[in-house]
Amino acid sequence: MSKSKSKSLPSSAAIGVIGAGAMGRGIAQVAAQAGHPVLLFDAMEGVAAKAVGLVAGDLDKLAGRGKISADEAKSIAGRITPAASLADFAPVKLAIEAVIEDIGVKADVFRTLETVCGPDTILATNTSSISVTAIAARLDRPERLVGMHFFNPAPIMKLVEVVSGLASDPALAEIVHATATAWGKSAVHAKSTPGFIVNRVARPFYAEALRLLEEGATDPATLDAVLRDCGGFRMGPCELMDLIGHDVNSAVTRSVWQAYHNDPRYRPSLLQQEMVLAGRLGRKTGQGFYNYGPDAAPPAPSTEDGHRPPKSILISGDIGPLAALEDRWLEAGIQVLRDDSSDPEGFIRAEGATIAITDGLPATARAALDEIDNLVLVDLARDYDSTKRICLAAAEQTDPDAVKIACGLFQILGKEVSLIDDAPGMIVLRTAAMLANEAAEAVLYGVADPAGVDTAMTMGVNYPVGPLEWAEDIGLDRVLEALDALSGITGDDRYRASALLRRKVLGGRYFHG
């Protein structure tokens, strides 16, 4: 699944788009901006003409902001023509369907196009959830059909998943890939499996958040703040689910779960089910995890009051990325001592408190197993030096004063501290490990290659880094350790480690390079 070397369709080639809703008109705009003449059709009378007007308005707004010239805006809009029927699609070289997610409706569109278009016309479906193989099986020439999955809004979002069903002609998939790239998109090849890349690999981002809330680990505002501030995500999962709509998010999760024969990896959340039953669907109903009423206060994460820092700390062993804070502590007036003769795991000892980065085990279990006094665990952060928030969890056995000392150690550096319940894997490590695990599974089963998965997740859902690249930054062995700890402590098969991830660790290899 290497980068396409095929030639893209020339800009003189006519493009047909079926479905003039938000996605269809967005795709039409993208193709027209690339210089193609575009035919836009919708089964509802007048909708295609209205859509052309909406595109023209959007282009005028771009011109008003100086993104394009007024002449360019007029020229692009002029390349989109509303079609009276699919019979007008005879000259198109690429027909992209963007109608409702109903396999019968989509198949009817393509069967009509087979009778109208020439034999060299490529048929593409923008489906986000229906098997490309299943749609193609209803056609006379299934090899002509390729998935071309854009993300909304199509003119802005860079990703296009080029999806091949069992019968798809690889040469046509390469032309679609090259064409999407020529249109300024980041195209990735994918195999037709449930969820393709993004809707599959993204499931743990929502699922682990919901699971942590069900476990009572923390509240939605704190969970979101930790994943934004420590994990680098643009939005936390709770606010994102509120934006998407819990009915939509739940339906996608249930669809993927059922498609994978109820695999526990994709098990829907009872909490989200309750929210849907209650009509708390998010922004569109005014209530989800958060209240969106006119007088609602903005959600505030749980942040610890200020506590005094220790006067000195003793670092033993390798404390990993927390070492980036040693100079900061020295500058803050804390005496930093080192003892490299013991504790290869790496601990910071501060006036009775023992501080370490989470390895996936709950602090209570780790303290009991290793006979550690007053253990406080630190969640993963993309960059401990720059993060404004630190997430901590204490063992049941830990003295409250030791927790305060741990808080003070990070607060003296100007960082806000959120204390959560003792949940296995905490928040960021658990999320990152599960995302990496799902990405590894996608690679194992040939859905996409590692570069394709990482590109899809950064370009399609704006992750700060691809899950496999992030796993390599963390250390594949640490990710595997966390998954094994989660699996062992919960007994839940959802946390079983990917065989490919385990193989990479045992073989001392990476996904990239």
| Cis amide linkage into residue 153, ω under 30° from 0 | yes
Catalytic site includes residue 128: yes
Nearest alpha-carbon partner for 93 in 176, 178, 183 = 176
Catalytic site includes residue 386: no
Q: Annotated catalytic residue: which of 149, 177, 189, 246?
A: 149
Q: Annotated catalytic residue: which of 199, 250, 255, 269?
A: 199
Residue pair 314/338 in contact (Cβ under 8 Å)? The answer is yes
Other beta carbons less than 10 A from residue 70's beta carbon: 12
Residue pair 142/165 in contact (Cβ under 8 Å)? The answer is yes
Buried b (16+ CB within 10 A) or exposed e, 279-308: ebbbeebebbbbeeeeeeeebebbebeebe
- Taking CA atoms, 23 is separated from 28, 171, 317, in Å, by 9, 26, 54
Catalytic site includes residue 345: no
Q: What tokens does 273 get?
A: 């089910």
What number of residues does the chain have? Answer: 513
Catalytic site includes residue 161: yes
| Look-up of token digits 């998954």 | 483
Q: Annotated catalytic residue: which of 97, 161, 174, 438?
A: 161
The CA distance from 213 to 275, in Å, is 13
Q: Annotated catalytic residue: which of 128, 164, 168, 250?
A: 128
Q: What tokens does 72 get?
A: 């360019």
Type of residue found at 156: I
**Which residues are annotated as catalytic?**
128, 149, 161, 199
